[in-house]
């Protein structure tokens, strides 16, 4: 190895070490989102969704009586000057079973993002509390690996959710992430609204934050989205978000083809994380491309 190669190797090692030392809490791996949620900018707490309920509001699964198999693959591309992190990528699988008394799903995801790798198994249970309301819980077993130190963190978390259908067009949802505080800096609560206008336009809005923070105003999250029904089987979705917990904002859009038994979805989500010059942390931008297919029976 030549002197120049040795110099470059040392420089790269020192740069990586500095990056890891200044990496803030909000730089950790993102919560997994389905293709549909990505197309809506992550919005959907108040929506009535099937496979998505395994990753957002578990209560909404109680409104379905069919079973389904869901598969999703995501790939990302970094567009920042931070060449130390690999491109994000993930895979997700969901088996869901709807039942009038108790619905449930089993999920598995694998994610790679920044210097982290995550494997997560999930169990979601949801049941009606009245003719128009339901409650649900998701229990997650996670393994997060820091690839720079090879340290693996294993832990359990839960998500509690409530969904209420005011009428056929208006629904409300509430969720609480990690209410038992099994992992630091991950508690938050959100409320979501969804309204269907003229049978082919759907609007949704989510709002929340970390209710355990000393200054809740610094942890607020805003999300909003619109979905348009095109022809009989196609849907166009657009959404945006601002997440102060992670110092991020962005948008998503997508196209879905929905049949009674089979559906395909495509989405692109753009995320921008603010940098901090005082600690030499660069601004991070990445684009995710997501494809999903589901079979209902």
User: How many domains does the chain divide into?
Assistant: 1
DSSP letter (8 states) at residue 59: G
**Domain assignment of residue 157, yes or no:** yes
Tokens, residue 156: 């359990």
Q: Determine the pLDDT at residue 80.
A: 60
197: burial class by Cβ within 10 Å (0-12, 13-18, 19+)? exposed
**Domain assignment of residue 12, yes or no:** no
Counting Cα atoms < 13 Å in the Cβ hemisphere of 173 gives: 32
| Pairwise pLDDT comparison (21 vs 120), residue with the higher score | 120
Does 12 score more than 50 pLDDT? no
Q: Determine the pLDDT at residue 273.
A: 86
Average pLDDT over residues 106-117: 93
**Domain assignment of residue 15, yes or no:** no
**Domain assignment of residue 124, yes or no:** yes
Say if CB 204 and CB 46 are below 8 A apart: yes
Q: Determine the pLDDT at residue 187.
A: 95
Give the pLDDT confidence of 175-234 residue by residue, as tens digits. Answer: 999 999 998 889 999 999 999 998 899 999 999 999 999 999 999 999 999 999 998 899
Cα angle, residue 193 at apex, residues 260 and 73 outer, rounded to 5°: 50
197 alpha-carbon distance from chain centroid: 26
Q: Determine the pLDDT at residue 232.
A: 86
**Domain assignment of residue 22, yes or no:** no
**Domain assignment of residue 16, yes or no:** no
Q: Determine the pLDDT at residue 231.
A: 84
Q: What is the CATH number of the domain that holds 215?
A: 2.40.160.60
Residue 277's pLDDT band (cuts 50, 70, 90): low
| CA–CA dist 228, 14 (Å, integer) | 50
Q: Determine the pLDDT at residue 27.
A: 52
Q: Determine the pLDDT at residue 15.
A: 40
43 alpha-carbon distance from chain centroid: 9
Q: What is the pTM of this model?
A: 0.87
Q: Determine the pLDDT at residue 81.
A: 54
Residues with Cβ < 8 Å from 84, sequence gap 6 or more?
Answer: 15, 16, 19, 115
**Domain assignment of residue 65, yes or no:** yes
Does 144 score more than 80 pLDDT? yes
Cα angle, residue 202 at apex, residues 201 and 204 outer, rounded to 5°: 150
Q: Determine the pLDDT at residue 271.
A: 94
Average pLDDT over residues 93-117: 94
Average pLDDT over residues 129-152: 95
Does 86 score more than 80 pLDDT? no
Residue 11's pLDDT band (cuts 50, 70, 90): very low
| Pairwise pLDDT comparison (114 vs 235), residue with the higher score | 235
Domain range holding 102? 27-296
Does 82 score more than 80 pLDDT? no
Q: Determine the pLDDT at residue 18.
A: 40
Q: Determine the pLDDT at residue 17.
A: 41
Average pLDDT over residues 82-94: 79
**Domain assignment of residue 267, yes or no:** yes
């Amino acid at each position: 190895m030549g002197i120049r190669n040795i110099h470059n190797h040392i420089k790269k090692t020192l740069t990586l070490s500095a990056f890891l030392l200044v990496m803030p809490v909000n730089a950790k791996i993102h919560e997994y989102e389905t293709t549909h949620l990505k197309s809506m900018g992550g919005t959907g707490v108040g929506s009535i969704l099937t496979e998505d309920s395994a990753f957002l509001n578990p209560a909404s699964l109680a409104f379905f009586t069919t079973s389904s198999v869901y598969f999703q693959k995501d790939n990302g591309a970094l567009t920042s000057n931070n060449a130390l992190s690999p491109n994000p990528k993930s895979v997700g699988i969901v088996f869901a079973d709807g039942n009038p008394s108790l619905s449930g799903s089993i999920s598995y995801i694998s994610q790679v993002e920044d210097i982290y790798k995550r494997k997560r198994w999930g169990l979601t249970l949801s049941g009606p509390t009245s003719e128009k309301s339901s409650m649900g819980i998701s229990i997650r077993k996670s393994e997060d690996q820091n690839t720079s130190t090879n340290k693996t963190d294993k832990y359990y978390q839960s998500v509690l959710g409530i969904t209420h259908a005011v009428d056929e067009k208006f629904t409300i949802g509430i969720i609480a992430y990690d209410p038992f505080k099994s992992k630091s800096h991950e508690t938050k609560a959100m409320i979501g609204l969804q309204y269907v206008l003229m049978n082919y336009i759907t609007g949704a809005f989510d709002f929340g934050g970390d209710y355990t923070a000393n200054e809740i105003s610094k942890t607020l999250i805003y999300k909003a989205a619109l979905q348009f029904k095109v022809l009989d089987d196609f849907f166009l979705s657009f959404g945006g978000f601002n997440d102060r917990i992670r110092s991020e904002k962005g948008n998503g859009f997508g196209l879905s083809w929905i049949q009674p038994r089979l559906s395909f979805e495509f989405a692109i989500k753009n995320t921008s994380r603010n940098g901090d010059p005082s600690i030499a942390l660069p601004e991070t931008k990445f684009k995710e491309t997501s494809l999903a297919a589901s079979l209902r029976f």
